[in-house]
Amino acid sequence: MESARVRQAVHAGNLTYANDWRKLGQNVVHDFLSSALEKIGALLDAGSYKVLVFGGDYDAITTPSAVEESVLAIPWVGQAEYANASRQRWSWFSSNVTHQGGWFSQARHLCRVTVTGAGHQVPHDQLDASREMMKQFVAYGCVKEMTQDE
């Protein structure tokens, strides 16, 4: 944050940068320890918002099984539909190559993706898969199995 180029890129201006993680922790501990499941359920029930939940299959902090349990606990009208949704393989085709992305489940406006070969920082670990996941989510509401013809 001392570099003028970085400060300009993040629009920091002349603000003082302090690396005080204790103060940050004190300010976010209440959010960290409270559940957002009801808020996510309200967004899903509204029907106007697409919700993407994604993680890496190597994530040891928020493991795929823990994420799945959390998603199954979201109180919303599509809960049973999601619980019965099949997990599908996700891959996409580009430059004459099929890329394996991972797998996904979908119900209504909820899309859950587990990215193969990624840990806790999916975009860092699997940049191409992350980019494709976001493009497909915006275009289709979830990822999908892409073929050579698409």
Q: Give residue 18's pLDDT.
A: 72
- Integer Rg of the chain from CA: 18
Percentage of the chain with pLDDT > 70?
97
Which pLDDT score, from 0 to 100, does residue 105 have?
A: 98
User: Across all residues in the chain, what is the average pLDDT?
Assistant: 91
Q: What is the pLDDT of residue 150?
A: 59
HSE value, Cβ hemisphere, 13 Å, CA-based, for 55? 16
What pLDDT shows up at residue 49? 94
- Terminal C-alpha separation, the chain: 43
Which domains does the chain carry?
36-140 (3.40.50.11320)
Rounded to whole angstroms, the Cα distance separating 121 from 141 reads: 22
pLDDT of 15-34, one tens digit each?
777 777 788 778 887 777 78
Task: Render pLDDT for 63-108 as a digit per residue (tens, 0 to 9).
Answer: 999 999 999 999 999 999 999 999 999 999 888 899 999 999 999 9
Q: Which residue has the higher pLDDT, 9 or 125?
A: 125
How would DSSP label each residue in the chain? --SHHHHHHTT-TTPPP---HHHHHHHHHHHHTS--HHHHHHHHHHSS--EEEEEETT-SSS-HHHHHHHHHT--STTHHHHHHPPPEEEEEEETTEEEEEEEEEEETTEEEEEETT--S-HHHH-HHHHHHHHHHHHHHSS-----TT-
| Global confidence as pTM | 0.80
Whether the Cβ atoms of residue 15 and residue 1 lie closer than 8 Å to each other = no
* Predicted pLDDT of residue 148: 67
